[in-house]
């Protein structure tokens, strides 16, 4: 759910032209995506 929300925020930032904030949101979404990918390996 957090990943989908961040992607929506990313799209809004892209349309409104906030490049640095868009990069931050993209990075957070990437970390969440990697955490979901590796979740079977921890606990």
Q: What local confidence, expressed as pLDDT, does residue 1 receive? A: 87
The tokens describing 33, both together, are 């995506």
Reported pTM: 0.82
- pLDDT at residue 21 is higher than 80: yes
Range 20-43 average pLDDT = 94
Write the burial class of residue 26 (CB in 10 Å: 0-12 exposed, 13-18 middle, 19+ buried): middle
- pLDDT at residue 43 is higher than 80: no
Average confidence score pLDDT of the chain: 94
Range 6-27 average pLDDT = 96
Write the burial class of residue 7 (CB in 10 Å: 0-12 exposed, 13-18 middle, 19+ buried): middle
Q: What local confidence, expressed as pLDDT, does residue 19 receive? A: 95
């Amino acid at each position: 759910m957090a990943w989908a929300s961040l992607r929506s925020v990313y799209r809004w930032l892209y349309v409104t032209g906030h490049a640095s904030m868009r990069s931050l949101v993209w990075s957070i979404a990437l970390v969440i995506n990697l955490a979901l990918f590796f979740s079977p390996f921890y606990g």
